[in-house]
Amino acid sequence: MRLLRPVVVGLSVLSLAIAIPTGSAVAADGMFAWLGPHGEPHYLRNPPDHRCFDMGQEARGARNGLRQPLVVYPRRRRKGAPTRLRPGQSAPSGAHFSSVVFNSH
């Protein structure tokens, strides 16, 4: 019985470690899609929440395949009139954007 006690304690600690979420990294659940230069499709799976991403190349036709809302902006660093996309919503295919924020309130 004494040999089993360390195993039981070890399994209890392991089950707690699995059950308790670690860190503060939260990500939007799903996929964000857009068209790049020459109409090539691009995808980003489970992007981090509340972080602004500036696009490094032409981007248009944003599609929100996430479970949370997102906001696209026509210029870098969240400049210009924002376009909010609800989950499942798409911007017009010709609508260009230069930055995006996921799960923005």
Domain-embedded: residue 7: no
> Over the stretch 16-62, which tens digit does the pLDDT of each residue have?
333 434 334 456 689 999 999 999 999 999 999 999 999 999 999 99
- Which CATH number is 96's domain given? 2.60.20.10
Domain-embedded: residue 11: no
Q: Give the torsion through C-alpha atoms of 88, 89, 90, 95, to 10 deg.
A: -150
Domain-embedded: residue 10: no
CA 103 to each of CA 5, 7, 15, 97: distance values in angstroms, whole numbers, following the listed order: 46, 42, 31, 17
For 91, the domain range is: 28-102
**Which of 97, 65, 68 shows the shortest CA–CA distance to 81?**
97
Tally helices (H) and strands (E) across the chain: 1, 7
Give exposure, 24-35, as e/b (b: 16+ Cβ within 10 Å): eeeebebebbbb
Instruction: Identify the pLDDT of residue 7.
Output: 42
Determine the average pLDDT of the residues in 5-20: 40
The neighbour count for residue 57, using CB atoms within 10 Å, is: 9
| pTM given for the model | 0.72
Report the C-alpha gap between 45 and 57 in whole angstroms.
Answer: 19
